[in-house]
Amino acid sequence: MHIPDGFLNVATVATTCAVSAGGVGNAVRIANRKLGEKHVPLMGVLAAFIFAAQMLNFPIAGGTSGHVIGAALAAILLGPWASVLIMSCVLIAQSLIFQDGGLLALGANIFNMGIVASFSGYYLYRLVVSIMGESRRSQLIGGFVGAWGSVFLASVACALELALSGVSPLAVVLPAMAGVHALIGIGEGLITGGVLSLVLATRADLLKLRKI
């Protein structure tokens, strides 16, 4: 899902960079106000886990690739704004060190996998939990739904950006991205549910941390 340089037009690059810069700036401001001593090590662990998980790419049609994202897990444990910071650090490191995603496309990648994935994953999780109640079962189901939705919606945003830039017709790139990531989202949902199950069994207090 990492978009390389040369795929997006100037208008899309400028728009996504502006939105992502504003989002990251707001995330830093909120984190400075709410960050606690228990948040910092967990943010580091999650960043390392997500960095490693995202290195596993699956080539798909239309010159695109797919992989797990991890934003939903970070958002569920720490909140959406903390997840935006974690994902931004991961994506910047991948772009600079491994050339996984272009520098000019960094704004789009942060928007898709940082902002869209974090907020959609978190609020889908909260929606399921609010409907089913604060039980272990509802949290695991909510984690699966949130993770699946975050991958699917991030892929839709990516497809729209590629289509608006004239890379590929929407009728081609949207099914290619959304269809494959709907399947990848199942894997991410299972991974997220597994991690949440482990957290609930060993450190349930982490889910009660103040969200950022």
First to last CA, the chain: 26
- In the predicted model, what is the mean pLDDT of residues 120-136? 94
- Rounded distance between C-alpha atoms, residue 202 and residue 194, angstroms: 12
Longest CA–CA separation in the chain, Å:
49
Burial 142-175 (b: 16+ CB within 10 A, else e): bbbbbbbbbbbbbbbbbbbbbbebebbeeeebbe
* 133 φ/ψ sector (left φ>0, alpha ψ -120 to 50, else beta): left
- In the predicted model, what is the mean pLDDT of residues 172-195? 90
Q: Report percent pLDDT > 70 for the chain.
A: 94
| Residue in the block written with tokens 């496309």 | 105
Q: What are phi and psi of 60, to 5 degrees?
A: -135, -175
- In the predicted model, what is the mean pLDDT of residues 121-145? 94
- Looking at the domain assignment, is residue 3 inside a domain? no
- Looking at the domain assignment, is residue 156 inside a domain? yes
The H helix count followed by the E strand count for the chain is: 8, 2
Q: Report percent pLDDT > 90 for the chain.
A: 59
- Looking at the domain assignment, is residue 125 inside a domain? yes
Tens-digit pLDDT profile for residues 135-163: 899 999 999 999 999 999 999 999 999 99
Query: Over the Cα atoms of the chain, what is R_g?
Result: 16
- Looking at the domain assignment, is residue 5 inside a domain? no
- Looking at the domain assignment, is residue 4 inside a domain? no
Average pLDDT, the chain: 90
Tens-digit pLDDT profile for residues 26-75: 999 998 888 888 888 889 999 998 888 877 766 655 555 557 789 999 99
Question: Partners of 59 in the beta sheet?
Answer: 65
Higher confidence at residue 168 or residue 106? 106
Cα-Cα-Cα-Cα dihedral sign, residues 190, 192, 194, 200: negative
- Rounded distance between C-alpha atoms, residue 116 and residue 109, angstroms: 10
CATH code of the domain in which 65 resides: 1.10.1760.20
pLDDT recorded at residue 184: 87
Total domain count for the chain? 1
What secondary structure letter does DSSP report for 50? H
- In the predicted model, what is the mean pLDDT of residues 171-189? 89
- Rounded distance between C-alpha atoms, residue 48 and residue 194, angstroms: 17
- Looking at the domain assignment, is residue 147 inside a domain? yes
What secondary structure letter does DSSP report for 34? H
- Rounded distance between C-alpha atoms, residue 3 and residue 145, angstroms: 25
- In the predicted model, what is the mean pLDDT of residues 90-119? 92
- Looking at the domain assignment, is residue 119 inside a domain? yes
State which residues form the domain around 28: 10-208
Contact 76, 13 (CB under 8 A): no
Supply the pTM of this predicted model. Answer: 0.90
pLDDT recorded at residue 65: 56
pLDDT recorded at residue 152: 95
- Looking at the domain assignment, is residue 1 inside a domain? no
pLDDT confidence band for 194 (50 / 70 / 90): very high
